[in-house]
């Protein structure tokens, strides 16, 4: 009996020790897993918020860069920018043109606002109180145009924002820095409107550092920074830039409110800083679940099960082994997911950098010194639109390539109705699609100027074919404009010549030739089919987007 009791006691002691060890390991692993998941989710959210803010700031920079300061007071300055503005992100609430007017320009401004059809052309302060323009002796920042125009917003132009407690200092700072500046959170459009931010980008007078006015974009704060869903591991708040003890929070319906942080309240689990409009913004993340409490509960359950199963040693060891294997697989899956996500982000950054480099080259060569700004602006918008269209097509196909016929859609190619397209509908790689999209736009944009000797617009044919077999397959493309000649066709731009003769052929590893016949203008491109299709690029994309599976 003593020996049996000793054995039973020894087995019970081993069971208790093993149960305690298992509970401790489960507690630590649950804490580690929850910590990794929460940290990674917060990093991804902060990165997405920063990318979103960078895109909105880029829109302000592009809009102010394309804007041409008027020599006279005008009230429809945003009209020429409509297509450029809406080619980018269009989630802004309003876009304003705020002109810096001299006292002598105020009567003309009132007359211009009236002729533009705005309901209240009177120059007034931001609270809608009329100003005595004869008594004003310094420049005023007056709202002269807005997008989108609607019946309830036509009464806003004519307001002066110099003395506005938030927008006034923001305009002063933007004028001093010459860069986009963001405001503090304020109600948009009206006192009870949604809480948001205003981003102001100065437009400088040509040849001076003095601003002619400001292009502003307003955004609701909830979709801009505070978006999260019910399944998120955290809730996010924005620290009040004026008072660190206050926080902006979003309800489930997206309504923003200001919450005071009381003494003794738990601090955020993590604080991340994002930049927008020349300022740093602090995002606080609160974990929705108490990881330590949940880990303790899990550890208690494991210990109870271990003690209850002390007599069944094999079952105890089987349970512990199974529990460890399950936790190990979860960690492996999450680590694999993190590595895959890092690879996807790196690939995305690489592609975005390539696209931005192409856009930078387009802008630089289109707006070269001495270029006609009206023509250059149309070409720039068209080229960027062509790039935007091909990126949209690539995104829809998860960067698996684009059908060649899709590049001839009317929304991307000028005068597509006059182009007769003929050829197999092959899927070209992402790199080839970007080069061919710009190539097709450049050819089409220069085919609409001259008339033939018989007074007809050029008739265009675009055809391609694939010859050869196996690795020797060759892609041949021919563009031919009939009823045109060297005397009637507009000369290609410097950018177009470089694209036609060097960039596009080199990108596809082929050769190009352009020439005039007796009745037409011809452009021919020949390239290896392996470069046009580029299966290595498609295979790499498939590997990156493949789902993560646990190791067996």
Going from the C-alpha of 541 to that of each of 44, 339, 416, 532, 534, the distances in angstroms are 21, 15, 31, 16, 11
Report which of 124, 122, 106, 125 is spatially closest to residue 114, judged by C-alpha positions: 122
Q: Which one has a higher pLDDT value, 516 or 351?
A: 516
In contact, 34 and 294? CB cutoff 8 Å: yes
- State the pLDDT at residue 255: 85
Q: Say whether pLDDT at 320 is over 60.
A: no
Query: The tokens of 114 are what?
Result: 């009236």
Spatial contact of 497 and 367, defined as CB atoms under 8 Å apart: no
Q: What is the rounded distance in angstroms from the CA atom of residue 359 to the CA atom of residue 88?
A: 13
Angstrom distance (rounded) from CA 425 to CA 348 = 27
pLDDT at 48 exceeding the cut of 50: yes
> Does 35 have pLDDT greater than 80?
yes
Q: Return d(Cα 129, Cα 127) in angstroms, integer.
A: 6
Q: Is there a contact between 195 and 186 (Cβ–Cβ < 8 Å)?
A: yes
Beta carbons within 10 angstroms of residue 415's beta carbon = 14
Write down the mean pLDDT value for the chain: 80
Instruction: Answer for the pair 362, 378: CB distance below 8 angstroms, yes or no.
Output: no
Over residues 494-542, the pLDDT tens digits come to: 777 887 888 888 888 889 998 988 888 899 999 998 888 876 665 555 5
pLDDT (0 to 100) of residue 269: 87
The count of residues in the chain is: 552
Structure tokens at 92: 């802004």
- Whether 460 and 419 have beta carbons less than 8 Å apart is answered as yes
Q: How confident is the model at residue 357 (pLDDT cuts 50, 70, 90)?
A: low
Rg of the chain over Cα atoms, rounded to whole angstroms, equals 32
Inter-CA distances, 434 with 52, 75, 288, 439, 461, Å: 24, 38, 44, 9, 21
Q: Are 177 and 205 in contact (CB under 8 A)?
A: no
Distance from C-alpha of 112 to C-alpha of 62, rounded to nearest angstrom = 26
User: 545 CB contacts (<8 Å, ≥6 apart)?
Assistant: 344, 398
CA nearest 250: which of 226, 284, 271? Answer: 226
Rounded-to-integer distance, Cα 522 and Cα 440, Å: 13
Residue ranges with strand state E in 429-498: 459-467, 474-482
What percentage of the chain carries pLDDT values higher than 90? 21
Residue (of 68, 77, 74) closest to 101 by Cα position: 74
Residue at token pair 């994309």: 541
Check whether 551 has a pLDDT greater than 80: no
Give the SS3 label for residue 103: helix
In this prediction, residue 185 carries a pLDDT of 93
Beta strand pairing call for 181-182 and 186-187? unpaired
- pTM here? 0.51
pLDDT at residue 171 tops 90: yes
Query: Following DSSP, what letter does each residue of 514-550 receive, concatenated?
Result: EEE-SSEEEEEEEEEHHHHH-HHHHHHHHHHHSPP--
Q: Which of 367, 364, 414 is nearest to 389 (CA)?
A: 414
Instruction: Kindly report, residue by residue over 380-421, the tens digit of the pLDDT.
Output: 777 777 777 777 777 776 666 788 888 877 566 777 777 888
Task: Report the pLDDT value the prediction gives residue 62, as an integer from 0 to 100.
Answer: 84
- Domains with residue ranges and CATH for the chain: 2-61+291-339 (no CATH), 353-538 (3.30.565.10)
């Amino acid at each position: 009996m003593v020996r049996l009791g000793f054995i039973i006691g020894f087995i019970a002691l081993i069971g208790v020790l093993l149960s305690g060890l298992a509970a401790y390991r489960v507690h630590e692993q649950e804490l580690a897993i929850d910590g990794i998941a929460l940290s990674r989710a917060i990093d991804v959210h902060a990165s997405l918020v920063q990318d979103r803010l960078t895109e909105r700031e880029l829109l302000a920079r592009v809009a102010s860069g394309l804007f041409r300061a008027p020599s006279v007071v005008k009230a429809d300055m945003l009209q020429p920018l409509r297509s450029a503005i809406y080619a980018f992100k269009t989630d802004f609430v309003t876009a304003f043109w705020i002109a810096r007017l001299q006292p002598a320009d105020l009567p003309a401004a009132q007359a211009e606002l009236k002729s533009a059809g705005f309901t209240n052309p009177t120059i007034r302060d931001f609270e809608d109180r009329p100003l005595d323009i004869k008594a004003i002796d310094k420049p005023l920042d007056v709202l002269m145009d807005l997008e989108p125009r609607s019946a309830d917003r036509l009464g806003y132009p004519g307001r002066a924002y110099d003395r506005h407690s938030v927008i006034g200092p923001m305009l002063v700072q933007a004028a001093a820095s010459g860069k986009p500046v963001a405001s503090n959170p304020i109600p948009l459009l009206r006192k009870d409107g949604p809480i948001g931010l205003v981003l102001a980008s100065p437009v400088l007078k040509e040849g001076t550092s003095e601003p002619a006015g400001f292009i502003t974009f307003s955004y609701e704060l909830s979709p801009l920074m505070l978006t999260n869903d019910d399944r998120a591991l955290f809730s996010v708040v924005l620290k009040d830039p004026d008072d660190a003890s206050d926080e902006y929070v979003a309800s489930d319906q997206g309504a923003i409110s200001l919450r005071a942080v009381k003494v003794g309240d738990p601090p955020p689990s993590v604080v991340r800083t994002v930049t927008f409009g020349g300022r740093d913004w602090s995002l606080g993340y609160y974990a929705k679940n108490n990881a330590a409490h949940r880990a303790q509960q899990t550890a208690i359950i494991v210990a109870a099960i271990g003690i209850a199963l002390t007599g069944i040693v094999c079952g105890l060891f089987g349970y512990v082994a199974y529990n460890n294997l399950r936790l190990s697989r979860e960690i492996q899956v999450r680590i694999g997911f993190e590595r895959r996500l890092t690879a996807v982000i790196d690939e995305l950054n690489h592609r975005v950098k390539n696209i931005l480099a192409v856009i930078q080259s387009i802008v630089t060569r289109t707006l070269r010194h001495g270029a006609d700004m009206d023509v250059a602006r149309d070409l720039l918008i068209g080229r960027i639109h062509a790039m935007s269209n091909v990126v949209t097509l690539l995104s829809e196909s998860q960067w698996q390539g684009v059908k060649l016929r899709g590049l001839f859609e009317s929304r991307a190619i000028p005068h597509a109705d006059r182009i007769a397209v003929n050829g197999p509908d092959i899927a070209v790689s992402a790199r080839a699609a970007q080069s061919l999209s710009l190539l097709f736009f450049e050819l089409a944009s220069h085919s609409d100027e001259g008339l033939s000797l018989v007074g007809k617009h050029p008739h265009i044919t675009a055809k391609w074919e694939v010859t050869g077999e196996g690795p020797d397959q060759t892609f041949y493309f021919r563009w031919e404009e009939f009823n045109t000649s060297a005397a009637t066709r507009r000369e290609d731009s410097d950018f177009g010549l470089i694209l036609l003769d060097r960039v596009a052929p080199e990108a596809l590893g082929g050769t190009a030739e352009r020439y005039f016949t007796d009745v037409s203008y011809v452009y021919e491109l020949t390239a290896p089919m392996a470069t046009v299709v580029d299966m290595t690029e498609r295979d790499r994309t498939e590997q990156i987007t493949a789902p993560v599976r646990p190791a067996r």
